[in-house]
Amino acid sequence: EDKTVDLEKFMPNKKLYNLVVKTFKKLKEENSETLYTDEGKIKRKVIVDTLGGDVSYDDIQLVLLFMKK
């Protein structure tokens, strides 16, 4: 029995994915100090605020998880 899980079904749509990735990379280039906590974790709030609140924290978290692949 194959016990692998297909995570691709949880992948956000391409438009959302590309928007969050582009925003993250832009923020990282501009001022990485405000993008990370003292522990080095990404602050989703900075991305949410930059996108005007149009993208949820959950959607951003999903994109960030897939970015690490």
Judge contact between 34 and 43, C-beta under 8 A. yes
Q: Which helix (H) or strand (E) holds 35?
A: helix 14-35
Per the listing, tokens 């924290």 go with 57
Can you give the pLDDT of all 69 residues of the chain as single tens digits?
777 888 888 888 999 999 999 999 998 888 767 788 888 888 899 999 999 999 999 999 999 988 865
pLDDT at 15: 95
